[in-house]
Chain A
Amino acid sequence: MVVAQRQLLFNQVYLDTEGGSVPWSYSRRNKFEQCLLWYYYSYYGASARTALAEPRKEELRFLSTLQGIDLRVGKILHFMIEQYLKRLKTDNQLSADDAVRWASNIFQKDLNVTLGWQRTGNLPEDPYSSLLLEFYYRQPDAGARWGQANARLRKALTNFFQDSALKPFQEGASTVGAMIERPVTVRDSDFVMHGKIDLAYAENGRIKVVDWKIRSSGGNDDKLQLVAYSLPIIDEFKCSPEAIDVFKVHLYDGTVSQHSISEQEVRRGRMRIVQDSVRMKALDSYGREAVSDAFTPCEQPRICRMCPFQSLCARRVKYA
């Protein structure tokens, strides 16, 4: 029960295969590319509705609730921003101090229950807390990573509230029809895509899409991610790709980068999604029948150390 609740809150796992195609999401696609065995465990092995012949079902379901520190702080950040933005037009507004305190409490609680589990072996009672993967697997730098992530979370949230450059986005969130942390689905003849829009709103004939990032800027521009943002927006706002402005807001250093996307890039992106969907579909029947051997482990230390299922992977690469 605890496991199921926690999954509902923070760990959306898409199980339906609507019309025979495997639902595509940006994160699912990334997992497929990173490690097929991790992908199998996440979307089939640990699922209550499929891969029923999986002999380690319970263990997988438990492990699937482990959350890496970086992933967890990202989710807490999004949760806080969602709470703040959704309450803007209510009497129950969230102050900056309260939000930072609340976020820190959640993350601290995660640490406490994880350390408690290490001492006693008892699982947390609180469905809103997560066991942290790095501590679960006793990674030597887990404590340091938690400390860095906690500082990052506080700084990102503080920037969100205090940086005047971000005020237009908060105002945009208050406009009629604004989408805040909204799950979205795009149904195409060749694929079904699921995703989540952090924030989108219309302004002066243009559609602004905002992606909150906890880390500082400097990463790569991923056009596929931009396409993944754009497709549901095109459906929802009935606009052309050229009318969309995507803002990546790096809350840690307060950098905002603006991106645009062309019709041609959307067309290419669609085809890429179709190609991904075909690849996922090719493995779908193996997943449903719990043939885990059909999913090759990646054997890459950088990926293995982030995988919640590493204890079950015979060919995992040790990282320390």
Chain B
Amino acid sequence: MLETNIRIVQFGADLRLDTRVAEVVTQDISADLLERACKVLLRRHGLPAVRFGSNRLLVHSRSVVPAETLEEENLRLELRDTVEVRRLCFGNRDDQNAMAQLLERCLIRQVSQAGLWRLDSYRIWYEKNPFKIVQDIAAYRRYEIGSIPIDGVGVGIVIDVSTAFFTTLTVADFFRNDVSREERNRLRRRFEQLTARQQEQKGTLLYELETGRRDKCYFDSFWDGVTAATTPSVRLNGVNYSSLQDYYSRKHGISVDADEPVAKVSFFGIDRPVPVSARRLRLRVMNDFVPARLKNVDKIEPACRHDMIEAFWARVGQKPFGNSLPGAQASFWRPPRERILDLDPPELVFGAGEKLSAPMTGTLSEYRKYYRDRMPLLDRVGCFHVPPTIPRVLHVAVPDQFGKNIAEQLGEAVSKCLARWTRVDITPEWFLYQTTDEAIHRLRSENRPGVALIIFSDDDPATYFRLSRELKEWRIKRITQATLQEYAEQFAFATDATSSGSVKVVREPHGWNSFIEKNALDVLQQVDCVPFALAEQGPYEAHLAIDVGQDHRHFSLSLLICRPDSERPFWFRSKLAIKADPKKETINHIHLKDEIVKLGNVARAAGFENIGSFLVLRDGRECGRELEAINSGCDELRSIEFLANTARVDVVDFHKRSIKGIRLWDVAPNGKRRHALEGKGIIVNDRVVVFVNTGAATLHQGTAEPVMIEAVTSAVNLNAVAKAAHASSQLNYSSPAAAQRLPLELKRSDEELKNRAAQEIRRMR
């Protein structure tokens, strides 16, 4: 039986909620300003409120909403009660979202009194103390609060649990000067490593004051030689302070030592770095940098997750939304059969038309076999499609320090895999290089661009960018020096007595074969090979994924065409484009439309026409004028006959992680909680579905992270969309034996954006 981490608010679909209407008066009113007004009411008066229309709020209050004013340099906002009372009914569809949000905020109000702390988001709350400390890293549990209206069921409150890591040392500790030179250097190196500043990250910090205030900020610099008493005067919100020490004393009532070290940090909403006490800053640590003994503490199994969330509910008590409101149901929501999605995995086709059958009976062992058999089948029959122009040479550029034996092993091993899967002889040509210039020069001196495996340090984005730019005609697979180093250290070679001068491998590193296989699979994709494809026609002939990079500086489009019954059954292309305005998530509508049309033109030139059904997946939330751009782009794609005139175009938002923090698991007849099978999901309403692409067959740690799909255009068949997305998630070319969370088109977009982001030089200050 499927179970979720959702609890339904009592009275379910019959729930009613009385609210008062407040009015917000300000210049240029916007959704952001209304949200700020909601936060003011919650913070100053403990009153949960949500946006209502263009300039009003719904406030959960029995009495008059207190008048409030918010004043800043360029803003004045007034909030006042309108005397209007409004009863929200869950039966009224227009009220559902507001009710869910209001109850979520009611819960947040209670949680804020439960001994937890938060950073920038009201929805994420941390345990007071770490549950584990290893070396200088402390692990904290945190709870994410969400809500979702479920049609015919009621308001669902979602609690998820995860882990965050912070250093135990403060920034002042990392910049100590009263230790030996050696220790000082070690601390600085550790700081650089944990902040990933070499990789252009700024370093996220937790700023904690004795008053209990906590904020998120970003490291700018350590102010060497300056102390809290000797900083220049500080001006904040129109008030002058003679020094940082004076600021803490007058503004926060905190006594700070005169000689306390100072760091400059950036806060959201303040346009330049400001000085703060370095002893009140700790580093937020990304999972990549935590010690081995902490690596798995964030992998929480379904049973354990269930217990932790249950304990959280117990902590907020019988009246989690406040005394005047109903509580939550005592157990987690188990969706009835009619609300369960059960997505069938597709049959896959490999080289020579060999097929891998889809599981028929839905047993776990059958699913496991479905994934396990992919690599052996690829080995046996080869790729579904190999372009006739596939390069016959694999160039391998290895830094001098690794030596020729390693370079030779790497080149030979990867080429051998490629030859096996493509049925084409691919010769490795390796060389050692000392400088990036030398590697670039060597490759550019080749007659024609080809495919290269390049080992280089990932520390410097400038090098990566330069390589990509100078070798833009090349297909490049990058391996970091640090990764190869791990294997290189374990290799042992000996001179082969039977053959003069040649060297044989005495000891091969543990995991070498899977390392080679993984990289060879990546190279295989670089050269446009298709290891396997879908054997049956899915609900859509083409999928277009649109994704924006995390830094908002690029966006990516990926087009997957899958028409198994046609002469060209499979085609895939990805395209990266500049997103000129990095301040906004939304893509400019002119640029988006043009890039969609360009990609359609490429597909049209490749011979694809009259596509009858087209699914557009916007990663995250479609916003601004993007829908208009997609529609006008599709009109143009019809005019060039890439799309049929009658083509059905469905547009959905695809949330890589369920934004509400929803989790699903299976409850066995004996009550034991375990992973759900791949393809299980829930129908939240006729606009939203949530499902897992990873699950019991290949997941061994943690709990599956579902994806969420939300319809944007009207009359979208979400069952068909989920089926299509689940099917293309089976195109797990990078790791065929393990289920893949994302559909191929979104995974590739995501990877391209991450690769490009790794080349971006951000920190020139």
Chain A residues in the interface with B (C-beta under 8 A): 32-33, 36, 190, 218-224, 227, 267-269, 271-272, 274-275, 278-279, 282-283, 286, 291, 293-296, 298, 300-302, 305, 317-320
**Would B765 and A222 count as touching, CB distance under 8 A?**
yes
Q: Which of B28, B272, B553, B761 contacts A268 (CB 8 A)?
A: B761
B272 CB contacts on chain A under 8 angstroms = 219-220
B273 CB contacts on chain A under 8 angstroms = 220
Number of interface residues of B (CB under 8 A): 31
Cβ of B392 within 8 Å of any chain A Cβ, yes or no, is: no
**Would A227 and B764 count as touching, CB distance under 8 A?**
yes
**Would A278 and B578 count as touching, CB distance under 8 A?**
yes
Which chain B residues in 726-748 approach chain A with CB under 8 Å? none
Which chain B residues in 546-564 approach chain A with CB under 8 Å? 553
B232 CB contacts on chain A under 8 angstroms = 218
Using A271-B462, A301-B74, A302-B74 as known contacts, say yes or no to A222 and B764 having CB atoms under 8 A apart. Answer: yes
Cβ of B465 within 8 Å of any chain A Cβ, yes or no, is: yes
Q: Which of B469, B582, B589, B764 contacts A293 (CB 8 A)?
A: B589
In the complex the two chains form, what is the Cα distance from A293 to B271 in whole Å?
Answer: 27
Using A271-B466, A282-B580, A294-B591 as known contacts, say yes or no to A318 and B764 having CB atoms under 8 A apart. Answer: no
Tell me the nearest residue of chain B to A286, going by C-beta: B590
Closest beta carbon of chain B to A19's beta carbon, Å: 16
B672 CB contacts on chain A under 8 angstroms = none
Q: Mark B455-466, 1 if CB is under 8 A from A, else 0.
A: 000001110011
Cβ of B577 within 8 Å of any chain A Cβ, yes or no, is: yes
- Nearest 8 interchain pairs by C-beta: A282-B578, A224-B764, A294-B590, A301-B74, A271-B462, A296-B581, A272-B761, A268-B462
Using A275-B760, A282-B577 as known contacts, say yes or no to A291 and B590 having CB atoms under 8 A apart. Answer: yes
Cβ of B27 within 8 Å of any chain A Cβ, yes or no, is: yes
B613 CB contacts on chain A under 8 angstroms = none
Closest beta carbon of chain B to A284's beta carbon, Å: 11
In the complex the two chains form, what is the Cα distance from A145 to B273 in whole Å?
Answer: 24
Show 10 A/B contacts (Cβ-Cβ < 8 Å), sorted by A.
A33-B582, A224-B764, A267-B462, A268-B460, A271-B461, A271-B462, A271-B466, A275-B465, A294-B588, A317-B74
Q: Which of A190, A218, A268, A302 contacts B764 (CB 8 A)?
A: A268
Residue among B461, B577, B578 with the most chain A CB within 10 A?
A: B578
In the complex the two chains form, what is the Cα distance from A224 to B588 in whole Å?
Answer: 27
Tell me the nearest residue of chain A to B578, going by C-beta: A282
**Would B74 and A283 count as touching, CB distance under 8 A?**
no
Cβ of B583 within 8 Å of any chain A Cβ, yes or no, is: yes
Residue among B232, B577, B589, B590 with the most chain A CB within 10 A?
A: B590
Using A220-B765, A279-B578, A302-B74 as known contacts, say yes or no to A271 and B465 having CB atoms under 8 A apart. Answer: yes
In the complex the two chains form, what is the Cα distance from A148 to B213 in whole Å?
Answer: 37
A221 CB contacts on chain B under 8 angstroms = 765
Tell me the nearest residue of chain A to B554, going by C-beta: A279
Cβ of B584 within 8 Å of any chain A Cβ, yes or no, is: yes
**Would B28 and A318 count as touching, CB distance under 8 A?**
yes
**Would A317 and B462 count as touching, CB distance under 8 A?**
no
B466 CB contacts on chain A under 8 angstroms = 271
A305 CB contacts on chain B under 8 angstroms = 74
In the complex the two chains form, what is the Cα distance from A218 to B234 in whole Å?
Answer: 11
**Would A223 and B764 count as touching, CB distance under 8 A?**
yes
Using A296-B581, A319-B74 as known contacts, say yes or no to A269 and B590 having CB atoms under 8 A apart. Answer: no
In the complex the two chains form, what is the Cα distance from A272 to B589 in whole Å?
Answer: 26
In the complex the two chains form, what is the Cα distance from A283 to B28 in whole Å?
Answer: 29
In the complex the two chains form, what is the Cα distance from A1 to B460 in whole Å?
Answer: 50
Closest beta carbon of chain B to A180's beta carbon, Å: 27
A32 CB contacts on chain B under 8 angstroms = 580
In the complex the two chains form, what is the Cα distance from A227 to B764 in whole Å?
Answer: 9
In the complex the two chains form, what is the Cα distance from A25 to B760 in whole Å?
Answer: 19
Q: Which of A36, A271, A293 contacts B581 (CB 8 A)?
A: A36
Q: Mark B220-252, 1 if CB is under 8 A from A, else 0.
A: 100000000000100000000000000000000
A286 CB contacts on chain B under 8 angstroms = 590
Using A272-B764, A320-B74 as known contacts, say yes or no to A296 and B27 having CB atoms under 8 A apart. Answer: no
**Would A298 and B590 count as touching, CB distance under 8 A?**
no
Tell me the nearest residue of chain A to B625, going by C-beta: A293
B465 CB contacts on chain A under 8 angstroms = 271, 274-275
A293 CB contacts on chain B under 8 angstroms = 588-590
Closest beta carbon of chain A to B9's beta carbon, Å: 37
Closest beta carbon of chain B to A246's beta carbon, Å: 14
Tell me the nearest residue of chain B to A267, going by C-beta: B462
**Would A269 and B581 count as touching, CB distance under 8 A?**
no
In the complex the two chains form, what is the Cα distance from A224 to B764 in whole Å?
Answer: 6
B74 CB contacts on chain A under 8 angstroms = 301-302, 305, 317, 319-320
In the complex the two chains form, what is the Cα distance from A266 to B588 in whole Å?
Answer: 33
Q: Mark B73-85, 1 if CB is under 8 A from A, else 0.
A: 0110000000000
Closest beta carbon of chain B to A314's beta carbon, Å: 12
In the complex the two chains form, what is the Cα distance from A319 to B74 in whole Å?
Answer: 5
In the complex the two chains form, what is the Cα distance from A294 to B591 in whole Å?
Answer: 7
Q: Which of A224, A274, A282, A317 contacts B469 (CB 8 A)?
A: A274
Closest beta carbon of chain B to A252's beta carbon, Å: 14
B588 CB contacts on chain A under 8 angstroms = 293-296
A36 CB contacts on chain B under 8 angstroms = 580-581
In the complex the two chains form, what is the Cα distance from A223 to B221 in whole Å?
Answer: 14
Tell me the nearest residue of chain A to B760, going by C-beta: A275
Tell me the nearest residue of chain B to A319, going by C-beta: B74
Q: Which of B28, B75, B469, B580 contacts A296 (CB 8 A)?
A: B580
Tell me the nearest residue of chain A to B581, going by C-beta: A296
Closest beta carbon of chain B to A270's beta carbon, Å: 8
Using A222-B765, A268-B462, A318-B28 as known contacts, say yes or no to A190 and B469 having CB atoms under 8 A apart. Answer: yes
Tell me the nearest residue of chain B to A222, going by C-beta: B765
Which chain B residues in 185-220 approach chain A with CB under 8 Å? 220
B591 CB contacts on chain A under 8 angstroms = 294
Closest beta carbon of chain A to B24's beta carbon, Å: 16
In the complex the two chains form, what is the Cα distance from A291 to B273 in whole Å?
Answer: 36
In the complex the two chains form, what is the Cα distance from A269 to B591 in whole Å?
Answer: 27
In the complex the two chains form, what is the Cα distance from A249 to B27 in whole Å?
Answer: 40
Closest beta carbon of chain B to A212's beta carbon, Å: 21
In the complex the two chains form, what is the Cα distance from A286 to B460 in whole Å?
Answer: 33
Tell me the nearest residue of chain A to B586, going by C-beta: A296
Q: Give 7 new A-B contacts, CB below 8 A, not counting A275-B761, A293-B588, A294-B588.
A: A32-B580, A220-B765, A227-B764, A279-B553, A282-B580, A294-B591, A301-B75
In the complex the two chains form, what is the Cα distance from A283 to B590 in whole Å?
Answer: 11
B582 CB contacts on chain A under 8 angstroms = 33
B271 CB contacts on chain A under 8 angstroms = 302
Q: Which of A218, A267, A271, A317 contacts B28 (CB 8 A)?
A: A317
In the complex the two chains form, what is the Cα distance from A37 to B225 in whole Å?
Answer: 42
Closest beta carbon of chain A to B6's beta carbon, Å: 37
A222 CB contacts on chain B under 8 angstroms = 764-765
In the complex the two chains form, what is the Cα distance from A197 to B575 in whole Å?
Answer: 40
In the complex the two chains form, what is the Cα distance from A275 to B232 in whole Å?
Answer: 36
In the complex the two chains form, what is the Cα distance from A228 to B578 in whole Å?
Answer: 23
In the complex the two chains form, what is the Cα distance from A320 to B462 in whole Å?
Answer: 42
B584 CB contacts on chain A under 8 angstroms = 296
In the complex the two chains form, what is the Cα distance from A305 to B73 in whole Å?
Answer: 13
B469 CB contacts on chain A under 8 angstroms = 190, 274
Q: Mark B628-665, 1 if CB is under 8 A from A, else 0.
A: 00000000000000000000000000000000000000
